[in-house]
Copies of this chain bind each other. A is one copy, B any other.
Amino acid sequence: MDLLALPYLDELSHGLANLSMFPYFDMAHYIVSVMALREQPGALEVSRASPLACWFSSMLYCFGGAVLSGVMLAEPPVAPLSNGTGVLLASIVWYLIFYCPKDAVYSSAALLPLRLVLSGMKEVTRTWKVLGGVTQARQKYKDSLLVMIAIGWARGAGGGLISNFEQLVRGVWKPETNELLKMSYPTKITLIGAVLFTLQQTHYLPLQKHHLMLVYTVFIVVNKSRMMLTGSSSSPFAAIESVLYKTLFTGHSPYSALTGEVKEACIDNGDRKSAAKVNGSSRAKEESKRSDAKNSKKIN
């Protein structure tokens, strides 16, 4: 990273590190988060049936990371509420996104150019949150890399990690999936960030903090923009992940054999049910039950 020794880039990274998230970047984070909530299936109905549940869900989208990392460190999960200005801003955003006459705010913010800028700004806040989580954890657990990674991750990707419980507020319950079972791109990139910042903070990574902040921020902003513009959801790490996965987690032959069987059996829907029986797994059974339910619905 000798590139970072260039005077221009060094200055830029110092400038970035001293950037204040409040109010513009925070605002962009609130707007993008509340818009993501609004685009969940059923969210509009909830906003109409119970504005309070909708507001609470929005706050979990906006402050989920702070709530989750608070719980994990046994600090009051209500603490984000004590940040009056933040909650006020987020509440105004929530109101405008959901209830603005003629839906003016949502319609304009959903335009691609504006959304691109807002999403980019939201990504910038991620760097600050991950770093904040790592340093907060370090004050309590000086030498525990794992705790620092966990808290940095929770702070940066909290909204996703607690999504099961956020959905419950809106009366939705999808136990069959969560961010650990099937990580989304933001959760993954936040985990990588948490690892990098933890290594930097514990001096295992020979890089200065503001340099890492610049590199990480540029990477996530550029990558997010690329994904939005191309409409692709492919992770830039797919290749590495695949190699790592194949190297580490496929040594276990009996299961590979089992999976082979299942794959063969799963040629069509009818066979999937028999595979479920062979397999004996509850999840496969549930899946086949769901497909049964769909079939019977179609028939009805």
Contacts and interface: CB of A to CB of B under 8 A. Distances in A.
Nearest to A295: B300
Given A171-B283, A178-B169, A251 B99 contact: yes
B52 A180 contact: yes
Contacts of A284: 42, 45
Contacts of A281: 41-42, 44-45
A87 interface: yes
Contacts of A251: 99-102
Interface in A19-77: 41-42, 44-53, 56, 70-77
Contacts of A112: none
A182 B253 contact: no
Contacts of A245: 51
Contact of A147 (B82, B177, B295, B297): B82
A204 B144 CA distance: 40
A169 B173 contact: no
A76 B78 contact: no
A263 to B, nearest CB: 12
A296 interface: yes
B50 A180 contact: yes
17 contacts: A42-B282, A45-B283, A45-B284, A48-B255, A50-B180, A50-B182, A50-B183, A52-B183, A53-B178, A74-B75, A81-B144, A87-B146, A100-B252, A164-B168, A168-B178, A171-B178, A172-B282
B297 A53 contact: no
B82 A141 contact: yes
B82 A71 contact: no
